């Protein structure tokens, strides 16, 4: 943890487990993640995110013969009784385009992904794709401004 002049967080070995029935035990794992946000600019509705780093990320996307994917549980909408009956309590016009970010300035110092790997297997089609040594570097990013991005990878089918 880091608290001033920015709030920062760094995580070591972290993983998101796959549901039962899939080959790889993890859907996603990473060796190290780091991010920070400047504190003082928040008072002026400015979100200044420091450089985001992701090292050793591994993503395993898998589709079984019956069509189930290990992403299904992440993308499925929660089903509740309340969702069956939509209610409207807002007095705002239906065509209102206001959002929670109105008035906020957002910037990102950069993103660095290194030593990443992506494996995609589909038992329905019998295909397998592996991307490794994936690297991504994005320079400073701000809305409505050009940025530089470098991407590299190796792969095999």
Q: Give strand pairing partners of 57.
A: none
**C-alpha–C-alpha distance, residues 69 and 21, integer Å:** 10
**C-alpha–C-alpha distance, residues 140 and 130, integer Å:** 29
**Domains held by the chain: number:** 1
Torsion of CA 12, 148, 46, 106, to 10 degrees: -90
Judge whether 59 lies within some domain: yes
- Assign 44 to helix, strand or coil: helix
pLDDT in tens, 47-62: 899 989 999 999 999 9
Judge whether 115 lies within some domain: yes
Judge whether 92 lies within some domain: no
Structural domain that includes position 59: 14-30+54-69+104-156
Residues 112-122, mean pLDDT to the nearest whole number: 96
Average per-residue pLDDT in the chain?
A: 84
Report yes or no: 7 and 36 within 8 Å, Cβ to Cβ: yes
pLDDT in tens, 142-156: 778 898 999 999 998
Report yes or no: 54 and 30 within 8 Å, Cβ to Cβ: yes
pLDDT in tens, 3-19: 667 788 899 999 999 99
Rounded to two decimals, the pTM is 0.68
Residues 93-109, mean pLDDT to the nearest whole number: 65
Judge whether 3 lies within some domain: no
| Residues with Cβ within 8 Å of residue 19, at least 6 apart in sequence | 70, 72, 73
Q: Which residue has the higher pLDDT, 24 or 91?
A: 24
């Amino acid at each position: 943890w880091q608290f001033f002049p920015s709030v920062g967080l760094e995580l070591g070995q972290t993983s998101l487990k796959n549901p039962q029935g899939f080959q790889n035990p993890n859907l996603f794992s990473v060796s190290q993640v780091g991010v920070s946000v400047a504190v003082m600019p928040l008072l002026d509705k400015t979100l200044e995110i420091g450089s985001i780093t992701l090292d050793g990320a591994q993503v395993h996307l898998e589709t079984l013969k019956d069509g189930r994917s290990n992403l299904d549980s992440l993308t499925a909408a929660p089903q509740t009784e309340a969702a069956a009956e939509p209610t409207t309590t807002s007095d705002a016009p239906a065509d209102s385009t206001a959002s929670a970010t109105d008035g906020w300035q957002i910037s990102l110092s950069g993103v660095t992904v290194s030593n990443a790997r992506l494996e995609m297997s589909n038992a329905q089609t019998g295909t397998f794709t592996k991307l490794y040594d994936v690297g991504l570097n994005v320079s400073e990013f701000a809305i409505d401004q050009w940025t530089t991005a470098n991407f590299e990878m190796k792969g095999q089918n």
